[in-house]
Chain A
Amino acid sequence: MSLIYEARWVFLEGILTTIKITIAASLLAFAMAFLAGLGRLSPFAPLRWLALVYIEVFRGVALLVQLFWMFFVLPFFGIVLDPIVTAVLALGLCNGAYGAEIVRGAIKSVPHGQSEAACALNYSRQQALWKILIPQAIPMMLPPFGNLAIELLKATALVSLITVHDLSFQALTLQQTTMRTIEPFTVVLAGYFLIAIVITGLFRLAERQTNARLGRGAR
């Protein structure tokens, strides 16, 4: 255990990097999810196709392949990105594609009468979408978005393979420098578990808040 105590700063640095990447990539994924999810529902066909291609490509290719592609191939096209930027881009774009289906599904699951009522009240398409449909769809999106955030957190472990010094990277470094195996990997697994618990708690809180705002009781 003294090993863990001596290496506490190494773990802390790793945890901070993992948290930073998780937050940045989640924000990008959230933005992409809305862009592509709404794009799929657009009345404008080219926009729908564009969103569909984005979703299918980024969901169809393994995340690690996307990471390696951005890390190793983009420089050949003259685009050299910092490893952390590459990590955030790949994680955000990939999880955004998964999130897009959540956004689309939630908006489509709002009862049809709601858009008819909006139409009867002379709301424009945009107004109906932003003022009627999306506010009711958000409580439905939150639980799957919570799961997606956990998946994203777990996926951040892969960025250690493109030289980012995240929590997983530190585990491997400690394993190589101390020749100990159980301690570093156990502590790192526990670290991820703790972050996951915090994320789950935050989403529960958000669910309660949005439900309360819509006048639905906490379930």
Chain B
Amino acid sequence: MIPFDFDYARSILPLLLEASLVTIAATVVSFAAALAGGLVLVLGMRAPFAAVRWPVWAVVQFIRSTPLLVQLYFLFFVLPGFGISLSPFVTGVAGMGIHYSCYIAEVYRAGLESVHKGQWEAATALNYRKSAAMVQIILPQAIPPIIPVLANYMIAMFKDTPILASITVIELMQTANIIASEKFLYVEPMTLVGLIFLAMSLVASACVRLLQGRLAR
């Protein structure tokens, strides 16, 4: 016998769908932050001075090998001590943005390095300035192959948003938790949250595959 009450599930579904808007907002905003942060980091990692390159590299390694949850705790509990009090949502989005910008910087780097060195040489031979060569020759070749990779990171970030519940952001997971603890009925809200995540990730992955197919053409 499965203790799953479909009527109850139907009654809480609107609440959960509403909360998933917060989840989506957190994903989109932190992804945008990570895209921008990744750019700063990749510039730092490719800087002409070793004094810039090494510290940036070390910070990226450190952030990449420590858990997002503890990084969020750090921001959430330590920043107010320095007089910076941000809302949980902003703290969470900033934390996720910083964490993933370290991954995205690597993606950018791989994209830039995948462009053949001869392209730079050809641009120099054609008397392009360095910045013009970057914008007109290198980036148009570096960006398309990394788009699906970036999209996959966005899906990964989407699946990390429940961690924001631990710093009191009321997103999908936290909403389900609140609903569940009200009547101590966990089966329906938790299962629905799982299904909502599954549905959204499957759709998103299908979109990425479609994108990949179009870009490969």
Which stretch from A31-39, A79-87, A181-189 is at the chain B interface? A181-189
A66 contact from B70, B160, B194, Cβ within 8 A: B194
A69 contacts across to B, CB distance below 8 A: 190-191, 194
Nearest-Cβ distance from residue B192 to partner chain A, whole angstroms? 10
| A171 contacts the other chain (CB 8 A) | yes
Given that A60-B201, A73-B186, A182-B81 are known contacts, is A68 also in contact with B173, CB under 8 Å in the complex?
yes
A193, B65: Cβ atoms under 8 Å? yes
A-facing residues in B71-87 (Cβ within 8 Å): 71, 73-74, 77-78, 81
Consensus secondary structure, chain B interface: helix
| A61 contacts the other chain (CB 8 A) | yes
| Cα–Cα, bound, A197→B180 (Å) | 39
A168 contact from B62, B67, B160, Cβ within 8 A: B67
Nearest-Cβ distance from residue A4 to partner chain B, whole angstroms? 15
- Mask, B37-76, CB within 8 Å of A = 1, is 0000000000000000000000000101111111101100
| A48 contacts the other chain (CB 8 A) | no
A64, B198: Cβ atoms under 8 Å? no
A185, B163: Cβ atoms under 8 Å? no
B193 contacts across to A, CB distance below 8 A: 65
A197, B194: Cβ atoms under 8 Å? no
A157 contact from B67, B187, B198, Cβ within 8 A: B67
A157 contacts across to B, CB distance below 8 A: 67-70
| A17 contacts the other chain (CB 8 A) | no
B162, A62: Cβ atoms under 8 Å? yes
B-facing residues in A127-180 (Cβ within 8 Å): 150, 153-158, 160-161, 168, 171-172, 175
| Cα–Cα, bound, A77→B131 (Å) | 62
B67, A155: Cβ atoms under 8 Å? yes
B74, A62: Cβ atoms under 8 Å? no
| A192 contacts the other chain (CB 8 A) | yes
| Cα–Cα, bound, A168→B211 (Å) | 38
CB nearest to B164 among chain A residues = A64
Nearest-Cβ distance from residue A147 to partner chain B, whole angstroms? 10
Q: Count residues of chain B with CB under 8 A from any CB of chain A.
A: 38
A156 contacts across to B, CB distance below 8 A: 67
| Cα–Cα, bound, A46→B205 (Å) | 23
| B128 contacts the other chain (CB 8 A) | no
CB nearest to A68 among chain B residues = B190
CB nearest to A185 among chain B residues = B74
Nearest-Cβ distance from residue B194 to partner chain A, whole angstroms? 5
CB nearest to B198 among chain A residues = A60
Nearest-Cβ distance from residue B65 to partner chain A, whole angstroms? 3
> When A and B form their complex, which 5 residue pairs have the shortest distance between CB atoms, in order from nearest?
A157-B67, A196-B65, A64-B162, A60-B201, A72-B186
9 additional A-B residue pairs with CB within 8 Å, beyond A185-B78, A189-B62: A60-B205, A64-B162, A68-B177, A76-B186, A157-B67, A171-B70, A181-B77, A193-B62, A200-B65
User: Which B residues form the contact surface with A (CB < 8 A)?
Assistant: 2-3, 62, 64-71, 73-74, 77-78, 81, 158-163, 165-166, 173, 177, 180, 186-187, 190-191, 193-194, 197-198, 201-202, 205
User: Which A residues form the contact surface with B (CB < 8 A)?
Assistant: 56-57, 59-66, 68-69, 72-73, 76-77, 150, 153-158, 160-161, 168, 171-172, 175, 181-182, 185-186, 188-189, 192-193, 196-197, 200
7 A-B residue pairings within 8 Å (CB atoms)? A155-B67, A157-B69, A181-B77, A189-B62, A189-B70, A189-B71, A192-B67
